[in-house]
Amino acid sequence: MEIVIVPDAPAGGEIIAEGIAALLRRKPDALLGVATGSTPLPIYDALTAKARAGAVDVSRARIAQLDEYVGLPAGHPESYRSTVLRQVVEPLGLPETAFMGPDGSADDVQAACEAYDRALAEAGGVDLQILGIGTDGHIGFNEPCSSLASRTRIKTLTEQTRVDNARFFDGDIEQVPHHVITQGIGTILEARHLVLLATGEGKAEAVAQTVEGPVAAVVPASALQMHPHATVVVDEAAASKLKLADYFRHTYAAKPGWQGI
């Protein structure tokens, strides 16, 4: 696991966007797994700027969704499908056919979960998966004590996650669904490269447990320690509880340029 400490969120977004651009230069039709929420927005902004400046050709890129609310009507502005289309697909100028995600409004939710796992495999697998982290250490919507081998499935949200997400529903927690479809931790770990971005002091404890604590289901993000190519990018505030922060700074400063992100 590589730990990159940056001054602020825009710097983190720029580093990750350049890593994505480098991937697309090598593999123009790469399948990019995207997360929602406010944290990854600097990544999408920086990648869009690069695409519009002609620094990278994104025309053949494919986009895969990490998770989706269950029960929101099709086209609901806070469904993750709508969010990804609005924040990633449309700014990059991609057609909607470049996007794939689970069906949160399916009559048979379990079948929809299994179908999405198959679709990811049939697409060749995710080349780079962007992740955020919850204050309780969740990735995707794999809440604490999720199986580290779990596949795409339906999950019940904790009250803390619903409180955290109420800001996207005009602050009204009653509008936040209780259930979601999420890629499981086992599914996430199949991506070739995992990139987690965390910003703000509120994420500092979760980051410390993820990076320096034991691998444990109570901190789902700690599963990244088992991945052969995982990158954790954190701003100074999110890095504030890392005991080895100085070591991480030193190793990144000494990193050969040819290694990339």
How do strand 99-100 and strand 62-65 relate by DSSP bridges?
parallel
How do strand 193-198 and strand 99-100 relate by DSSP bridges?
unpaired
Let me know the angle formed at the C-alpha of 257 by 251 and 261, rounded to the nearest 5 degrees: 75
- Per the annotation, the verdict on 143 as an active-site residue is yes
- Per the annotation, the verdict on 138 as an active-site residue is yes
Active-site entry in 67, 68, 117, 164 = 67
Active-site entry in 14, 127, 136, 164 = 136
Region for 86 from its dihedrals, namely left if φ exceeds 0, alpha if ψ lies in -120 to 50, beta otherwise: alpha
- Per the annotation, the verdict on 250 as an active-site residue is no
What does the alpha-carbon distance between residue 148 and residue 189 come to, in Å, rounded to a whole number? Answer: 9
Active-site entry in 68, 138, 164, 235 = 138
Q: Would you give the DSSP letter of residue 216? A: B
What does the alpha-carbon distance between residue 122 and residue 255 come to, in Å, rounded to a whole number? Answer: 35
CB-neighbour burial class of residue 254 (10 A; exposed 0-12, middle 13-18, buried 19+): exposed
- Per the annotation, the verdict on 136 as an active-site residue is yes
Q: Name the residue type at position 122.
A: E
Neighbours of 260 (CB within 10 A): 12
- Give the list of residues 6+ apart from residue 36 with CB closer than 8 angstroms, or none: 66, 67, 80, 83, 84, 87
How do strand 230-235 and strand 193-198 relate by DSSP bridges?
parallel
Active-site entry in 14, 103, 117, 143 = 143
Active site residues: 67, 136, 138, 143
